[in-house]
Structure formats: C-alpha cells, structure tokens
Amino acid sequence: MKLDWSIVWQSRWLLFEGALVTILLTALTMLIAVPGGIVLALMRNSRLKPIALFATGFVELFRNLPLLLLVYWAFYVMPVLTGFGLPPFTTGLVALCLNVSAYNSETFRSGINSIRRGQSEAGLALGMSRLEVFRQIVLPQAWRRVLPILASTWVSLFKDTSLVSVIAVGELAHTAMQIRSQSFRVLEMLTAMAAIYWVLGYPQAKIVDWIHRKYGVRE
Amino acid sequence: MDLDFSPLIDSWRFIASGLGLTIVLSVAAVVCSFVLGLAVGLGRMYGPGWLRVLLVFYIDSMRAIPVFVVLVWIYFAVPIISGHSFDPFWAALIGITIHVAAYVAEVIRAGITSIRKGQTQAGLAIGMSGAQIVRKILLPQATVRMLPAFGSIVSVTIKDTAIAAVIAVPELMRQAETVAGQSYRPIEVFTTVMVIYFLLIFPVTRLIDWFYGRVAHLGRS
C-alpha cells in the first residue's frame, strides 16, 4: 500500500470551497427553517382546525422521512412542480429546509407551550393584542429555552448537508468524493474529508455542550 | 402531469425485498448500537481515567462527523488498509452502529446522572456494591427516563439506514433508486417509497411514546 498525501494539499482550494458551501448551506437552511419552524408551530396551535391539521401533517411527514429520500424526491419533483429546472444547490436547500423546519417546529412548539398560560393571560388583560403577547412575552422567554435544542439541530444539520452530495451540490462531501474518483487516491481523500468534517464539527459539538450547560432547563 | 404507477406494481417484489432488508438492517443496527452504547456510556462514567478520555473523544468525534462520511470511509477506505473487502451490508451495519452508539452512550449518561445522588447514597448505606447500585437502582429508573430519547434514536437509526444506499446496500432506498432509474418514473417511485418509510417510522416512534406514557411513573423519584 503506497499512500500519497500530496493530493490533499494540491486540492486544498477545492476542499476549502466545498467547506464554504457546506457552511453556507447550513447557515441558509437555519435562516429559513427557524422562521419556518415558528410559523409551523403557531399554525399547529391555531384554533382553525384545517390550518392546525395541515401543519401537523407537514411536520409529521417531513420529520419521519430519511433525508436522503427527501433530497431525491425534491430533485425529481421540484422541476415538475415549478415547471423549470432548479440548480442542485437550491434543490438541496429546499429538501434541508423541509426537514429542519419540521424539527424546529416541534422545538418551538414545546418551547412556546412551556411558557405558563398566566403569562399570555396577563398580557391580554393589559390590552395587548395576541400578536403583541406572542412577540413581546412568549417568544422572548421561549427563545431562551429552545436555544440549546436549536444548537443541537444546527450540528445535526451541518452533518446532514453531506447528503445533498448525491444530487451533485458542490459541498464538502461531493467535492471530496469527486477528487477521490478522479485521482484514485481513495484512502487519502476519504480520510481528508473525515478530518475536515471533524475539524469543523468538533468545536461546534463542544459549543453545543456549553450552550446546554448555560441555558439548559433544569428540573 | 400523468402518473403511472405500473412500474411499482411490476417490481413490487424487488421493492419488498428492499423493505425487508431495511427492517433487518434497522433492527440489527438498533440492537448493536444499544449494546455498544451501553458499554461506552458506562465506561465513560465509571471507567478508569484514560478510558474516559478516550471515550469522550470517540463520542464527540461521532457527533462531529456525518454518518455518510463514516459509511463511505468504512466501505471504501478500510479495505485499502486491511486488504479485505467488506460486504456492503456489514459495512453499513458497522458504520451505523459506531455512529449511533455514541448517541446512545450520551443518552445513557444523561439518564443515569438525572437520578438523584441520595439514591446512590442509600444503596451504599445498606451495603450494596457499585455494580449492584448501577444494576438495581440506577439503570431501572434511568431506563424509563431514557425511553423518549431512545425513541428518537430508533427513528434516527431507521432513517440512517437509507444512507446505506450510497454504498449499494440493496435496501429500500437503493431499490427505489434502481426502479426509478429503470422505469423513468422517479416521481411515482420516490413518492410511494416516502409513504412506505413514513408508515415504517411513524408507528415506531408513536409506539415508544405510548409505552413511555404507560410507564413514565416508574421513572419518578
């Protein structure tokens, strides 16, 4: 077995770009999926039955599907639904957003429901509107409680972005797999890919632990 | 848009064999990762210092590396080192187990540390050994408390088995890709498989939640 690690150094800029796309994809997904999750959570708590039912169906469906399948599904169904082809990046983003919005919705719902009813009632008694009560009383308190779970979701999402590589989104996993098949330096590239994910992911996992310690709800 | 589900009807045996393998892989992965996770979790809590450092490193690494990366590394890179090629099924089982066991270990640790110290002290006071306290006092209560977290781990594991498709394990996801590719009917095939996965995962998580509702009182202390 002869190993040639120079391939990793030669492709450093490609890998760097791939890592940037991975981070961009993670950040964009979270940016969309946090408001998405809040809206879905509010819809589930809605008094209008059809709205609540739709949101429940949406959340349960996208929470209980393998992401890989969702990625393929978006890849084939989106062009038909929209009538034109979308770049892989957008398709991957949509699949990730569907999945993470569903998760975030559950997170926010439990966060919102954990704020005692008396708080909203007090707000209403002062003459605040329901929207004001939600924005100024419930959400700020719920926010603190859901933060640790959102942080965990962030790390899962960061790892899950590797799955959109199957539809040729040029993120880290896809880039590394491409270089692997072009250079035949399989062991070197796969190890480099794992190492880069580790270097990026390990501090994130540690930060999540810290957020849990700082903000975690204790009995 | 016209839909044509006949390719699915024609190849239902092919799809069903994939579903069978998905179930086998899921059950095997859940069992293996629970056994490994219990060992890692207990070793991380009660093992000697060097072992704890090692296990914390392992757990945090698995939290940082995608399961996709673990799978392709085991399937493509390990044979280069060892000289033996893997059957994809075993590579998938090993990869998923190594990955999920880290999460199981964390859940077990969180469950055990959630039991009040007084319980351990009471056990010590009546002369029980450390192993007895873990086995007879801590684990029985912690197991009940851990059930909801285990439920989500089971559901994550089933979802992770779909990733085995990328190393050509002929499970449900892979069979769906094949049928979709051959029939040029990806929308029908993937939508149907979505329903199948949902019907597989949703009841499992619900069942565990329901069971937890029945036994939750046993975990109170």
Q: Give DSSP secondary structure letters for chain B.
A: -----HHHHHTHHHHHHHHHHHHHHHHHHHHHHHHHHHHHHHHHHHS-HHHHHHHHHHHHHHHHS-HHHHHHIIIIIHHHHHS-PPPHHHHHHHHHHHHHHHHHHHHHHHHHHTS-HHHHHHHHHTT--HHHIIIIIIHHHHHHHHHHHHHHHHHHHHHHHGGGGGGT--SHHHHHHHHHHHHT-HHHHHHHHHHHHHHHHHHHHHHHHHHHHHHGGGG--
The predicted pLDDT at position B99 comes to 96
The predicted pLDDT at position B8 comes to 83
- CB–CB contact B186 A72 (8 Å): yes
The predicted pLDDT at position B215 comes to 85
pLDDT of A219 over the 60 cut: no
The predicted pLDDT at position B51 comes to 95
Burial of A81 (0-12, 13-18, 19+ CB in 10 A): exposed
Total beta-carbon pairs less than 8 A apart between chain A and chain B = 117
pLDDT of B84 over the 90 cut: no
The predicted pLDDT at position A1 comes to 65
* B104 — pLDDT class (breaks 50, 70, 90): very high
Q: Closest Cα of chain B to A127: distance in Å?
A: 39
The predicted pLDDT at position A185 comes to 85
Query: A22-51: b or e for each residue (b if 16 or more CB lie within 10 Å)?
Result: beebbeebbebbbebbbebbbbbeeeeeee
pLDDT of B202 over the 70 cut: yes
Q: What is the mean pLDDT of chain A?
A: 91
The predicted pLDDT at position A84 comes to 81
- CB–CB contact A69 B194 (8 Å): yes
- Which tens digit of pLDDT belongs to each residue from B3-58? 788 888 888 899 999 999 999 999 999 999 999 999 999 999 998 999 999 999 99
Taking CA–CA distances from B196, the nearest residue in chain A reads: A65
pLDDT of A217 over the 80 cut: no
Taking CA–CA distances from A180, the nearest residue in chain B reads: B76
Cα dihedral sign for A80, A81, A83, A85?
A: negative
A122 DSSP 8-state letter: H
- Which tens digit of pLDDT belongs to each residue from B144-171? 889 889 998 999 999 999 999 999 899 9
The predicted pLDDT at position B221 comes to 63
- Which tens digit of pLDDT belongs to each residue from A27-76? 999 999 999 999 999 999 888 999 999 999 999 999 999 999 999 999 98
Chain B neighbors of A186, CB-CB under 8 A = 76-77, 80
DSSP 3-state assignment of A177? helix
Please report which helix (H) or strand (E) contains residue A214, including its range: helix A186-215
- CB–CB contact A61 B198 (8 Å): yes
Q: Closest Cα of chain B to A193: distance in Å?
A: 8
Chain A neighbors of B74, CB-CB under 8 A = none
Q: Closest Cα of chain B to A163: distance in Å?
A: 7
For chain A, the distance separating the N- and C-terminal CA atoms, rounded to the nearest angstrom, is 55
Chain B neighbors of A160, CB-CB under 8 A = 66
